[in-house]
Amino acid sequence: MQESRIAATDLACQRGERVLFSGLSFDLQPGAALHVAGVNGIGKSSLIRILAGLLRPLAGDVQSEGDIGLIDERPALDPSLPLGQALSFWQRLDGPADNELARLGLGALLDVPVRYLSSGQRKRAAFARLLGQSAAVWLLDEPLNGLDSKACELAQTLAAEHCAAGGICVIASHQPIALPAMQRLELADFAR
């Protein structure tokens, strides 16, 4: 795996006229996992978007080493295409994840248009995309939403395997996450 690191220094985030959080810092090295926790609207998704480079912070900066992969509520799969074709598009850019399709329970769904997939099936398809990216840093925004208990276990196993291989996971979630040596960041501690 490529080198991995992600660090935030004195981050602040403003949405509209409201500062959601400020003074937030951390430094994650290979193998680290961070659970970002907090109530609805506190800024978990905003933090993930800042770390991904999709949202500018009000203050502070983010430094990262290694490619970043993101799972959020938008799986970036063409809803009109069958799942197999939608994933093939990304495989041409990212790399194949064919060996993971059966593990993710997607093998029998490749001819189903993405728009007909359940939220859990779309989330598992997003994991297939993520695995194909071979990104060193995983940013996971509510990765367990829509998943049944078996799929939740698999998602946590995939994240644990990623960290064990030297990757990093930053997971924003309302749900409990069980990963070895996971740190917890309560956004309420940085709320304004």
- CATH number of the domain within which 66 lies: 3.40.50.300
Q: Catalogue the E-assigned strands of the chain.
A: 5-15, 18-28, 33-37, 59-65, 68-71, 137-141, 168-172, 183-186
- The one-letter code for the residue type at 148 is D
Give CA–CA dist 13/19, Å, rounded. Answer: 6
DSSP H or E run through 121: helix 119-133
Is the pLDDT score of 192 beyond 80?
A: no
Of residues 10, 32, 9, 4, the one with CA closest to residue 169 = 32
104: phi then psi, degrees, rounded to nearest 5: -85, 0
Strand 137-141 versus strand 68-71 pairing type: parallel
At residue 98 the predicted structure's pLDDT band, cuts being 50, 70 and 90, is low
Whole-structure pTM value:
0.93
pLDDT number for residue 20? 95
Q: How many domains are there within the chain? A: 1
Give CA–CA dist 112/83, Å, rounded. Answer: 6
pLDDT number for residue 99? 67
Taking only the tens place, the pLDDT of each residue in 9-68 is 999 999 999 999 999 999 999 999 999 999 999 999 999 999 999 999 999 999 999 999
Residue 137 near residue 68 (C-beta atoms within 8 A): yes
Residue 178 near residue 156 (C-beta atoms within 8 A): yes
Taking only the tens place, the pLDDT of each residue in 117-176 is 999 999 999 999 899 888 999 999 999 998 999 999 999 999 999 999 999 999 999 888
Task: Give the dihedral of Cα atoms 44, 77, 115, 101; nearest 10 deg.
Answer: -100
Domain containing residue 139:
5-190
Strand, coil or helix: 181: coil
